[in-house]
A and B are shown apart, each in its own frame.
Chain A
Amino acid sequence: MQATSDKRWFKRLGRSFSQVPLLGWLLGALVAVALEQIGGLSLAWAVGLPKIPVLFGFLMALKKPLLVPSALLYVVLIYVLPIGVIARVSASPLNRLAGKLFSSSLVISVVIHLGLLYATLHVWAGISDYRLLVLKLALIAILLTLSLNVVNGYMGEFSCSHPGFMALGAYGASICTVVLFVDDKLFGSALLPAAIGPFFFPLALILGGLLAAVGALAVAIPSFRTRGDYLAIISLAFMFIVKSMIENLEIVGGPRGLSSQPDWANLPTVFLWTVAGIWIINNFVRSTIGKALNAVRDNEMAADAMTVNTRRTKFIAFCFAAFWAGIAGGLFAHVLRYVNPSTFGIQKLAEVLAMVYFGGLNSVYGSIVGALGISLLGEALRPLEIFKWIIIPLLLILVMIYRPTGLIAFREFDVVKLLQSKQHSEKGV
């Protein structure tokens, strides 16, 4: 009896939260991170923690298992409780607000949601530099994962060259900014005043992206004549070619790498590029031109017979994906302010493939979940050292067994549905 009533209670809780609009969750999260900013440290001391836990208490709990209850208490008090209470209490007024915003202008609604999300992330990352770095890298991982999903998920080919494209983008953008704006021992003094640099930065990133897209053409031309394993092999070769090419190019620092990139990849920049990437890629895969990728994947002969130019479709998708990988690479280089060729090797490839297949093929949601999940997990399990590389693959194997296409595969990312007021479901049911 106890069990059934428990379950009913759980279900009722779930139903009452299903009516909370996205606006409510975002507001709750903002309040939670603001509370942490104001009273996080005193609360941490009060529950017996030495400092504010940076990654939801994971790092601390794993280093000192005795602190598990305190860390848990902290997370509940700072995150779960405020978010839950505010989301629930504000549900009905915010539903009305969301509905009104939605019906007046989609653009304003999107901007407000993104603004709240950014504010939350900004305050959360304001606690420590480590958080800021983890967050930036996670956002870049989203961009990278999504771009690989275009090829491996939407188009159904198996491409291994994403680290290579990322390297091209990273070096392309870095060379641009370092040559033009930095007094560097490799390239000499700055050619342009540093003041206009931040405005030039997007151009440098796009240039890096285009360089990656040109590299993609080099893979695509020989390998898209046939289907199957050829692309996997050629793209893997491409990745190694790019890596050893950079290693042997003394002009960009060879194996020592390229450093002293200007510090322009701050959180708003990375956030905006990630949002722009998600928006454009999502637009593309939801259009009929982008759906042609799915047609090519599921049956190329039928796609051809239905007037789809399959060769052009594959080329566009591959270069498009490489472009975004290049952008991600450029951001990556400017976040770390140092790149070296060995970063873009087989380990990076394994990481990004894991993100794609963990999150889910053919799905923007999946890529976001996969990228955030694996990169946060990778950081959170850091204290376990070598065991981290047992736990993460184990998790992947479990996902592959129970959900072979990934956690959230084949789901459309519909912004309109996401932003709508959730009130109507109350009347409907």
Chain B
Amino acid sequence: MPLLQIQKMTHYFGGLRAVYDYNLAMETGQVCGLIGPNGAGKTTIFNLITGIYRATEGKIFLEGSELNGLAPHEIAARGLGRTFQNLLLWRHMTVLEHVKMARYSKISYGLFGAFFGTAQRHREEAAIEAKALGLLGMMGIKHCADQVVVNLPYGVQRRVEMARALAMDPKILFLDEPTAGMNPEELAQMMEIIRQVRDELGLAIFLIEHRMKVVMELCEHIQTLVFGEVIAEGTPNEIQNNPKVIEAYLGKEAVE
């Protein structure tokens, strides 16, 4: 049984067919990539899996249990962590608070602890803080822990988002254009972090990317999406040499 399985997922926005007959099977430790031109429906697929939209048709299973119909926070709590294309951070909160927040569903001290500051709460908060600081250390941004996110450089904000998604102990990490807008140096660091996450935390990673270098180097399996339909899938090599992909998407770049 695969970790994540999606069968015949189709989604309409009114009369517009955004995603058609989408299938996916992922295993732990695998890195998959989703590429395609702008507007192909890549982010829509992420939003469908994470429950922000409800698929018109099709089934999604995580470790054999169905995710359809669950609220986004329930799906997230089952182990689907994600980052966003346009950085959805909380502008008045510090970096540490961001990462701690992702432990929300695992907090057990309850409202009583929140109101009366019980010993259990202090213990749990301390444990969450230690975990969060560990993740920030892994991302190399521990020194920013007490800063408000809006003041931080873009590359650091991306890493905050990544640390936040990892704090919920996800089984699969969804990265929506993790290197968008980064300079070559930041790009290399981000790729290193993604590799490190895969190796050390043992989770599956599913990423949307426009930079071919990133996709080809990181992913074992790639799907190419055009107008909501997967037109090709396979290893990086197969994708690079697939005439349909070259025609629809890679074009001249692949010829070089």
A residues near B (Cβ < 8 Å) are 280, 283-284, 287-292, 294-295, 297-299, 301-310, 316, 362, 410
Contacts and interface: CB of A to CB of B under 8 A. Distances in A.
Interface in B239-256: none
B91 A306 contact: no
A413 B77 CA distance: 31
Given A288-B128, A290-B114, A308-B101, A302 B77 contact: no
Interface of B: 50, 52, 71-73, 76-77, 81-82, 84, 88-93, 97, 100-107, 109-111, 113-117, 121, 125, 128, 164-165, 168
B76 A292 contact: no
Given A306-B104, A309-B71, 19 more contacts: A287-B114, A287-B117, A287-B121, A288-B101, A288-B103, A291-B97, A292-B101, A295-B90, A297-B90, A297-B92, A302-B90, A304-B73, A304-B76, A305-B88, A306-B164, A306-B165, A307-B168, A309-B105, A410-B92
A305 B82 contact: yes
Contacts of B104: 288-289, 292, 306-309
Given A287-B114, A308-B73, A302 B89 contact: yes
A305 B50 contact: yes
A43 B128 CA distance: 58
Q: 6 closest A-B pairs (Cβ-Cβ)?
A: A298-B90, A302-B88, A307-B105, A304-B72, A287-B114, A289-B114
B88 to A, nearest CB: 4
A156 to B, nearest CB: 9
A105 to B, nearest CB: 15
A307 B102 contact: yes
A288 B107 contact: yes
A289 B106 CA distance: 11
A339 to B, nearest CB: 28
Contacts, number: 104
B89 A299 contact: yes
A288 B92 contact: no
Contacts of B52: 301, 304-305
A288 B96 CA distance: 11
B92 A362 contact: yes
B146 to A, nearest CB: 11
Contacts of A288: 100-101, 103-104, 107, 125, 128
A51 to B, nearest CB: 45
Contacts of A297: 90, 92
Contact of A307 (B73, B111, B116): B73
Nearest to A285: B114
B93 A283 contact: no
A298 B128 contact: no
Interface centre among B109, B115, B116 (most CB of A within 10 A): B115
Contact of B116 (A283, A298, A304, A305): A283
Which of B103, B104, B107, B110 lies at the interface centre, i.e. has the most chain A CB atoms within 10 A of its CB?
B104
Contacts of B77: 307
Contacts of B91: 298
A377 to B, nearest CB: 28
A284 B114 CA distance: 5
A297 B82 CA distance: 19
Contacts of B50: 305
5 contacts: A288-B125, A298-B93, A306-B104, A306-B168, A309-B104
Nearest to B76: A307
Contact of B93 (A280, A291, A309): A291
Nearest to B100: A288
Nearest to A410: B92
A188 to B, nearest CB: 37
A289 B90 contact: no
A291 B115 contact: no
A419 B126 CA distance: 21
Nearest to A309: B73
A284 B115 contact: yes
B105 A299 contact: no
Given A295-B93, A306-B168, A307-B168, A287 B88 contact: no
A113 to B, nearest CB: 17
Contact of A287 (B82, B90, B93, B125): B125
Nearest to A299: B88
Contact of B84 (A289, A302, A310, A316): A302
B168 A283 contact: no
